[in-house]
Amino acid sequence: LLTQSLNPGGEDDADGQEYRRTLNNQGEAETFLQAYAALLADRREALTSERTVLAAHDARYVLKAFC
């Protein structure tokens, strides 16, 4: 994902969709980073039995969504 070129067909094949592809890749990378941050927070909580700020926020958000 991070090493993809702007033009999959080559540098001379500009099709005008480079910006759209870059935005899609950026959104996908951001989703992966958010999931990774949540995974690390869960791991830390499991290892230290402490709630992180992210985990506490997520718990409050889930409670508000169901109430």
Q: What is the pLDDT of residues 5-31, one digit of tens each?
A: 767 766 667 777 888 888 899 999 999
pTM over 0.85: no
Contact 7, 13 (CB under 8 A): yes
